[in-house]
Amino acid sequence: MLITAINGSPNRNGNTNLLLREALSTAEKSGAQIKLINAAEVLDDLDLPFCNNCVYPCTGACAVGNKLGDALKVLRHTDGLIIGSPVYYGTISGQLAAFWNKTNTLWGNKALVNVVGGAVSVAMARFGGQETTIKAIQDLMFVQGMIIVGDGHQDFDCGHQGVCAQQPSAQDTNAIERARIMARRIVEVAEATQSLRCRRE
């Protein structure tokens, strides 16, 4: 069982990263292997960080011998995926959008179909666009055919759309707890649906 997190923040060690690491730590304690992908770091390794629809269907030519290729390989084998982003004008960061556009080859191979996903967002204000950002992340997942869960669990409440945090996330104890709860749910649903995932290279 592999649970992966994508940090969509331009800050590798910021508020979003902290919550994703809390979630991954919980997944690891539940017996899963874990990986963390920093979207900005992957993009920095590319000559052209933005998808320009160079060929259709996508062959993944831009992901050969680089960090993008490594990241896509991880995603092809993941069972659960937690995507996090800071709020930028009520939606996801440009880094996350650019990275996700580079997953078009995964869409063509149906590599993420039935992978279990959850979302994390962080804003400067308590009501600073977290839920609209989570909805944007969930839209990314829907297009890939993923199974989406919120931040609830049978041992707690049913939850909401995902983990909504206020900066600094290290002091947002509710968000930290929700990240842990969501991770438990992702692991359980990923285990229950493992036979539904069809791996394609």
To the nearest whole number, what is the mean pLDDT of the chain? 96
What integer is the mean pLDDT of 43-69? 93
Residue 201 lies in a domain: no
Find residue 6's DSSP bridge partners: 37, 83
Look-up of token digits 């229950």 = 192
Identify the pLDDT of residue 186.
98
C-alpha to C-alpha distance for 91 and 85, rounded to whole angstroms: 8
Section 90-97 average pLDDT: 98
Please tell me the distance from the alpha carbon of residue 154 to that of residue 2, in angstroms, as a whole number.
22
Residue 35: other Cβ atoms inside 10 A: 16
- Look up the domain containing 18 and give its range: 2-196
- 86 in any annotated domain: yes
Is pLDDT above 70 for 201?
no
Give the number of other CB atoms < 10 A from CB of residue 25.
14
Q: What is the value of pTM for the model shown?
A: 0.96
Question: For residue 200, is pLDDT > 80?
Answer: no
> Could you tell me which residues come within 8 angstroms of residue 18 by beta carbon, excluding any fewer than 6 positions away?
169, 170, 176
CATH code, domain with 77: 3.40.50.360
Q: What is the mean pLDDT of residues 48-74?
A: 93
Rounded mean pLDDT of 93-107? 97
Domain count, the chain: 1
d(CA 84, CA 154): 23
What are the angstrom distances between the C-alpha of 92 and each of 97, 134, 136? Answer: 7, 8, 7
